[in-house]
Amino acid sequence: MNILVSGGAGYIGSHTCVALMGAGHSVIIADNLSNSKADTIGKIMGIADKEVTFYEIDVTDTEAVDIIFKNHKIDGVIHFAGLKAVGESVEKPQDYYYNNLVSTLVLAKACQKYGVNRFVFSSSATVYGDNKVPFVESMDLLPTTNPYGETKAMSERILTDIAKANPYFSVSILRYFNPVGAHESGLIGESPNGIPNNLMPYVTQVAKGKLEKLKVFGNDYPTVDGTGVRDYIHVVDLAESHVAALDNLKAGVHIYNLGTGKGTSVLELVKAFEEANDIEIPYEIVERRPGDIASCYADASKAKRELGWTAKRDMIAMCRDAWRFENGQGE
């Protein structure tokens, strides 16, 4: 199939393009490079040993998106493009609501216009809010604490209503837990601008000596060792889930948690990183980070049951591959 991948130059999108081409699909990437680099496109082609078509466009731009649908027979859309920094979304709510909602509307509208009925959307475990773990797809969603989370919950509702109005529209809503790691080639991975907000890139930068020590945000949560628990998932496992989601699309809206189903605390991740890479990670305990919840992990059984997909790579692989990528990044 010809798959339009919005945000395909980004962290999860680039790995997914590789997985799609590995499964025999052709890929057309639309990305405005607001949080990625043009050379990632060449790296994707190098790993997959296949050509991709790249449009440097903003997917909130109806006319630019229309040109892609005119130029190619698109069979399905995977919509990754979006702004994703939780803290920044509190500072710049308009930017987040505009970019993340209008992009979804423009792509869904183009699908309607050109009769494309396959749509896969990147949502997030953040839509569950501070629910009881493990999070199950059927749970009532609790309010999120930031505009970013709201854009995900709203996009889910928008796509659900569009699917209600069009019985042929097949939407897969994928709620990602915490993607980490990198492609084993070390060529593509996550390279956040500035000081990382997320745990794994912060740890790799401490390992590299770019940052002095990890600040662990609180050790008084009701968890195994008091530090926050998350469900880390290898980005290549996550990428592969998109192929399974496309293969198993059916009419209506279907929501899937994509995680391993296992919670890992901050200190457990640090220990795994030290073991995997034989590097010490200095850390200090500091105040809790505002807005953080104690625990977040998936009940991942629905994706296994309906998509035949489960995460295969363990925490050691996640830490090893994250470090390999950081090491290849230069200064």
Catalytic residue numbers, as ranges? 148
Q: Please choose, out of 2-10, 27-35, 183-191, 211-219, the segment that lies near ligand UDP by the rule CB under 6 A.
A: 211-219
Binding partner selected for residue 18 from ligand UDP, ligand NAD, none, CB under the kind-specific 5 to 8 Å limit: none
42 close to 27: Cβ distance less than 8 angstroms: no
**Cα gap 190→162, rounded to integer Å:** 32
When the beta carbons of 119 and 202 are compared against ligand UDP, the nearer one is 202
Taking CB under 6 A as the rule, does residue 266 contact ligand UDP? yes
Sign of CA dihedral 187, 192, 196, 197: negative
Q: Which one of ligand NAD, ligand UDP, none interacts with residue 99, CB within 5 to 8 A by kind? A: ligand NAD
Segment 25-28 long-range contacts (CB within 8 Å, at least 24 positions apart): 25/1, 25/243, 25/246, 26/1, 26/2, 26/50, 26/52, 27/3, 27/52, 27/53, 28/2, 28/3, 28/4, 28/52, 28/53, 28/54, 28/55, 28/68, 28/72, 28/74
Beta carbons of 204 and 210 less than 8 angstroms apart:
no
Binds 106, which of ligand NAD, ligand UDP, none (CB < 5 to 8 A, cut-off by type)?
none
Classified as helix, coil or strand, 90 is: helix
Distances 89 to 94, 99, 171, 198, 271 between C-alpha atoms, Å: 8, 11, 26, 15, 31
Judged by CB under 6 A, does residue 128 bind ligand NAD? no
The binder of ligand NAD chosen from 10, 76, 149, 201 (CB under 6 A): 10
**Closer residue to ligand NAD, CB minimum distance, 90 or 285:** 90
Write each residue from 191 to 210 as x if it is in contact with ligand NAD (CB under 6 A), else as -, in one continuous string.
--------------------
> Which of ligand UDP, ligand NAD, none does residue 31 bind (CB under 5 to 8 Å by kind)?
ligand NAD
Measured from the CB atom, the residue of 99 and 204 that comes closer to ligand NAD is 99
Query: Which of residues 11 and 202 has its CB atom nearest to ligand UDP in the complex?
Result: 202
Interacting residues with ligand UDP (CB under 6 A): 178, 197-199, 202, 214-217, 228, 230, 266, 289, 292, 296
